[in-house]
């Protein structure tokens, strides 16, 4: 799409928006992803015509034919990012163009149309600006943004991708992931299930990856663990991710993270930490890391901390590991100093308490 074809959004404001008192009640205890703001974004795509009917409209249910492709063949993808109220009062997003780029790389893998990056970012600006009173003022809280795209063609033919699509964005106030201090999680090494295999959709942020993961997450809980750790699909030897988050291993002054082999989701938090590390005087390395190295490193004391990272929880320390035939703890099982330092720096940039030296903060209002 050229600039001349740039979409303009039709704005239809809700006539049943919640009152200030109702909103304040939600914002006092928002939880995560349970309550949504008063508006949403919708843009339609038709093969041959491109993107059209861009609009901001009241939040509400969709009406779709039961034969709609997304229900049967899961041609769907999504993104996740946050709007923050900074210490100055400005409302900002963190690296929205990074999400726009990843959205389109996911779209290419899922045989779905790309959305111009500007349109992706503009749609979120419009939603956040309209619903700006939903951006929490409480420290550590944020407005979680969920852009997504679904295949909307009705019909059960499986040989071709849908000819029509709908892009949408919704927003939900989110509490800090950790209430009452940062608690390390326990993890289960899944050897029965894998999240992604070479040539598959592991690098794409698509719902199908999550659908296939629930059974392993349930298995982790059955083994008394909080989260599942995914290993490579071949020998179950190398560490890939933790649930829906990327992993970092701290060897003294060095951060090691599994390389992006195509089966890992390239997290924007992961990427930001790799860039920030230098500012903090830390070295970084992207390479394969095996379960054996993880265990022996903890036993020898060389591997001092492990943490997971992602937009929703920012940084989560990992305290202990359990697998079918082994179990160990990481250092003394409490959050380590490098983990907490990286977290403080990243959160500081997001909320404006620290200088945005990498130009990651995108101001909305």
Ligand X SMILES: *Cc1c(COP(=O)(O)O)cnc(C)c1O
Applying CB under 6 A, which residues contact ligand X? 80, 205, 241, 244-246, 265, 267-270, 310-311
Q: Is residue 282 a contact partner of residue 312, using CB atoms and an 8 Å limit?
A: no
Q: Rounded to the nearest whole angstrom, what is the least distance from the CB of residue 97 to ligand X in the complex? A: 13
Q: Rounded to the nearest whole angstrom, what is the least distance from the CB of residue 202 to ligand X in the complex? A: 8
In the complex with ligand X, which residue's Cβ is closer, 210 or 328? 210
Pick from 100, 116, 266: nearest CA to 196:
266
Q: Rounded to the nearest whole angstrom, what is the least distance from the CB of residue 80 to ligand X in the complex? A: 6
Question: Phi, psi at residue 112, to the nearest 5°?
Answer: -115, 160
In the complex with ligand X, which residue's Cβ is closer, 85 or 270? 270
Question: Which DSSP string corresponds to 172-198?
Answer: EEE--S-SSS--PEEEEE-SS--S--T
In the complex with ligand X, which residue's Cβ is closer, 99 or 153? 99
227-231 and 185-189 as β-strands: parallel, antiparallel, unpaired? parallel
- What residues pair up with 45 in beta bridges, in sequence order? 51, 165
Q: Rounded to the nearest whole angstrom, what is the least distance from the CB of residue 190 to ligand X in the complex? A: 13
The three-point CA angle 76-80-85 to 5° equals 150
In the complex with ligand X, which residue's Cβ is closer, 54 or 206? 206
Write out the two tokens for 340: 């907490």
Q: Rounded to the nearest whole angstrom, what is the least distance from the CB of residue 249 to ligand X in the complex? A: 16
In the complex with ligand X, which residue's Cβ is closer, 231 or 265? 265
Question: Phi, psi at residue 87, to the nearest 5°?
Answer: -60, -25
The Cα 227–Cα 337 span in angstroms is 22
In the complex with ligand X, which residue's Cβ is closer, 151 or 206? 206
Q: Rounded to the nearest whole angstrom, what is the least distance from the CB of residue 133 to ligand X in the complex? A: 25
């Amino acid at each position: 799409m050229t600039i001349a074809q740039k979409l303009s959004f039709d704005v239809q404001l809700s006539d049943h928006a919640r009152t200030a008192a109702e909103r304040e009640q939600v914002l006092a205890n928002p939880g995560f992803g349970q309550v949504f703001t008063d508006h949403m974004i919708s843009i339609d795509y038709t093969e041959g015509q491109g993107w059209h009917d861009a609009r901001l409209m009241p939040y509400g249910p969709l009406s779709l034919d039961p034969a709609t492709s997304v229900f049967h063949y899961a041609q769907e993808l999504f993104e996740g990012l946050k709007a923050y109220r900074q210490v100055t009062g400005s409302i900002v997003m963190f690296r929205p163009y990074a999400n726009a780029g990843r959205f389109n790389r996911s779209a290419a893998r899922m045989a779905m149309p790309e959305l111009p990056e500007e349109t992706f970012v503009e749609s979120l600006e419009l939603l956040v600006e309209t619903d700006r009173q939903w951006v929490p003022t409480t420290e550590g809280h944020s407005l979680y943004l969920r852009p997504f795209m679904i295949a909307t063609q009705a019909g059960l033919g499986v040989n071709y991708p849908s000819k029509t699509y709908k892009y949408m964005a919704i927003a939900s106030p989110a509490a800090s992931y950790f209430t009452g201090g940062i608690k390390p999680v326990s993890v289960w090494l899944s050897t029965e299930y894998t999240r992604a295999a070479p040539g598959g959709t592991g690098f794409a942020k698509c719902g199908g990856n999550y659908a296939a993961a629930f059974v392993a997450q349930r298995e982790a809980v059955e083994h008394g663990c909080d989260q599942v750790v995914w290993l490579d699909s071949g020998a179950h030897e190398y560490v890939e991710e933790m649930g829906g988050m990327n992993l970092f291993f701290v060897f003294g002054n060095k951060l090691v993270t599994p390389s992006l082999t195509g089966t890992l989701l390239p997290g924007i938090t992961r990427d930001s930490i790799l860039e920030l590390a230098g500012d903090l005087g830390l070295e970084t390395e992207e390479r394969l890391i095996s379960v054996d190295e993880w265990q022996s490193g903890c036993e020898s004391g060389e591997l001092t901390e492990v943490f997971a990272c992602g937009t929703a929880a920012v940084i989560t320390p990992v305290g202990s590991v359990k697998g079918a035939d082994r179990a160990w703890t990481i250092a003394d099982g409490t959050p380590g100093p490098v983990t907490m330092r990286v977290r403080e720096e990243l959160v500081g940039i997001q909320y404006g308490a620290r200088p945005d030296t990498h130009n990651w903060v995108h101001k909305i209002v």
